Structure 1
Amino acid sequence: MAKVFMSILGVNCYVPAHYRLNGEVSTLTPFVQEAYLSITSGNWASQDRLVFFLTGEARRKNWEDHGNFPQGLYSRLKKLSLAAEIVAVPFNEGHTEEDIMQNFLTIVEQLQEGDEVIFDITHSFRSLPMLNLVALNYARVLKGAEIKRIYYGAFEVLGHPSQVEEMPEEERVAPIFDLTPYVLLLDWTFAVEEFSRYGMAERLAELVQRRVGPVLRETRGRDIKASALRSFVNHLQGLTLNIYTCRCRDLMGTKIDEALPQGLSFDDFLPPFHPLLEMIEQKVSGFSGK
């Protein structure tokens, strides 16, 4: 199982800055990709890959030497002596539907069965992060790839580039944001669709358990909200299973409407779940005596 770092290289002449990730700060660099890979340099092995998607302009200006900078990103990465293979992949600008589809396939083709993916979405056109997420999710289903992290180098928190250029170099420290929770929201979307269209609650139960499991272990089962949610989704999963297997006698004993205590709010505990409650109640009301 290989780790794969992916990034789309932009064309701008980036102002050099330091980047911070998990308490570690990189050396000064115009490239957030170099910053991330220098911070995590010890985490890469020979079977891993560092994949960079390059338009022709990005290759000339920022990948190769003597473009925007005396040393391009490729030369800078070679100096890090990383164990992983560095791969440069041609990429379209993505202005047309044909380009978008080709870029989608290009991303998917770079992933192999079971790869663990870390994607940097800092640079390039603003529409491409959406394409990245769609392509990665497709690869999750098609190839069993796992999205480990999605990162964004938030240079803009320092101010406009012209302002940053006037700052002392030691003060130019930008955070690298972890946007991986967006993947979890995608999971919730698919789980809701499965329940809404097909009455299947397995994915919902899995996502709820992923949230409540650690809480219940830490509190030894005493957290009221976590316990209530676990009980509720267990009842819900049992109900849908009884429907699918035509267990009419078991259906008559289902009391899912009593499984979730009234008055509990889950907005702060599990925000994606709260809007589902009304829909779930409507779906199961015919089996709960209402």
Structure 2
Amino acid sequence: MQLLTFLGVFNLETTEFTWKNQSLLKSPYVVEALLKFNSIQKVTIFLTPQAEQHENWKKLQTNLIQLNNISVESVQINSGQGEEDFWQLFDAVVNSVESESEIIFDITHAFRSIPFLAFLATAFLQKAKAVTVKSIYYAAFERNQLQTPIVDLTPALELLDWLTATNRFVETGDGQLVANLLKAKIPSNEELSHNLEARKLKANLKLAAETIEAISIALAITRPLETMTLATKLEENLAKATPSFAQKAQPFNLLTEKIVKEYGQFALLKPSEQSQIPQNMHRQLKMIEWYLERQQIVQSVTLAREWIVSVLAFKFNEDILNHSQGRKYVEIALNNASEKLKKNPREITPGRCDEMFESLPEANELAKLWSAITEIRNDIAHVGMKTQAQTANNLKQKVESLYPRLLQLGNQLLPNE
């Protein structure tokens, strides 16, 4: 494990460092205290040119050299006064750490903007180099106090993790990072065996994580009915787990409102019931727009195609969830109508919904829209494996241009929500 720390030119007084109310040693240097309760093999000390010449470094270096099995290196940094210094410090920190290593940060003697920059560099290392940050320490020295407690600031770094995970869930629908963070807060088996309250914590955190995972998967695989049902449960399950968030996942407690607002727009308790079909269809329209806003083109065109069939099945009193006894006949009517638009249509065999379809004022627009969506969906489904495949960007633009037409048809064919 590697310790990254800073040392300046301030006069350091000898103090008794403590960790969790236990005395460690008396020294002016927090590094020596950290070595007492962490298994550290390498110490990297960041120094300004002035600090390199100061007695602080000379004395600490002498002390550390006397220790066995510990590698010590110094890295020169600037004082952190401008943008150029910021990037120099950032590079110095990042370049001093190996990929997939374990590190401890100590910011006790960092000054000016350096603690803030160190936090950002730490967050970057976690993502870019798969570095594990075990702890971020700060020794809270006060003059005229006999003892100096060492504080673990690592939870502050978790704020960035929660924010990143929540934004990912809201912006893309991928809730796995949020679920993983919630699962990581589930009490250990030892806690569960001795504490009844811990069992309740586990149940609530597990329920919240599983609900988020489920709605994330349902959206990814384009399951609108499942998404609606889960969105209904989401607010309820998160509310139930709120006391647990306050104890174990405090940052998430502040972010739940954002999640509920984002997915609450899809909530519908019994989307398959006949009385709920119009609301179901309106929510599917919102879902198509949601997919488009997030550049999820495959899901949006897949759902748009099925949405047209569902709306017409409802209009014609066909079973919207039964393909062989309902949806099939709507598709036949749509296919026949789009075939008739061609210069040389094939021979058409009428289906039982054809007459109802042709009587619709929107029949011609529906036929054109169906033809366009079918072409796009087929091109996407065949993954461009043909000589005249459309470019991805062209397909994206075509799908985006369809949504206003879907919205207009929804207003014409469906009762108001």
TM-score normalised by length of structure 1: 0.81
In terms of fraction of residues, the more helix-rich structure is 2
CA distance in 1, matches of 2:265, 2:211: 15
Displacement of 1:107 in angstroms is 0.2
Deviation by residue 1:128-176 (Cα, 9 ceiling, x = unmatched): 11111111111111111110011111112xx3xxx46xxxxxxx22111
Displacement of 1:64 in angstroms is 4.6
Q: Which amino acid aligns with 2:60?
A: L
Structure 2 match to 1:284: 263
CA distance in 1, matches of 2:164, 2:104: 22
Q: Is 1:6 the equivalent of 2:4? A: yes
CA distance in 2, matches of 1:225, 1:24: 30
Structure 2 match to 1:92: 78
Structure 2 match to 1:55: 48
After superposition, the Cα gap between the structure-2 partners of 1:177 and 1:262, relative to the gap in structure 1 and judged at 3 Å, is closer
Contact kept? 1:121, 1:152, Cα under 8 Å = yes
Structure 2 match to 1:181: 155
Contact kept? 1:9, 1:62, Cα under 8 Å = no
Unpaired runs of at least 5, structure 2? 270-417
Deviation by residue 1:61-101 (Cα, 9 ceiling, x = unmatched): 13554xxxxxx11012123x231210011111111110111
Contact kept? 2:235, 2:260, Cα under 8 Å = no
Q: Is 1:234 the equivalent of 2:232? A: no
Q: Which structure exhibits the higher relative contact order, with contacts defined as CA atoms closer than 8 Å and separated by 6 or more residues?
A: 1
CA distance in 2, matches of 1:253, 1:203: 22
Deviation by residue 1:190-240 (Cα, 9 ceiling, x = unmatched): 111112221221111111111125378445898345423322331222112
CA distance in 2, matches of 1:200, 1:247: 14
Structure 1 match to 2:178: 204
The size of the alignment, in residue pairs, is 264
CA distance in 2, matches of 1:78, 1:222: 46
Unpaired runs of at least 5, structure 1? 66-71, 165-171
> Which structure has the larger Rg?
2
- Indicate the percent of aligned positions where both proteins have the same amino acid: 26
Q: Which amino acid aligns with 2:4?
A: M
Other structure's SS at 2:206 match: helix
CA RMSD of superposed structures (Å): 2.6
Alignment map for 1:99-118 (pairs within 5 Å):
99-118=85-104
Displacement of 1:34 in angstroms is 2.3
Q: Which amino acid aligns with 2:55?
A: N
Other structure's SS at 1:148 match: strand
Contact kept? 1:122, 1:151, Cα under 8 Å = yes
After superposition, the Cα gap between the structure-2 partners of 1:53 and 1:263, relative to the gap in structure 1 and judged at 3 Å, is closer
CA distance in 2, matches of 1:212, 1:28: 37
Structure 2 match to 1:135: 121
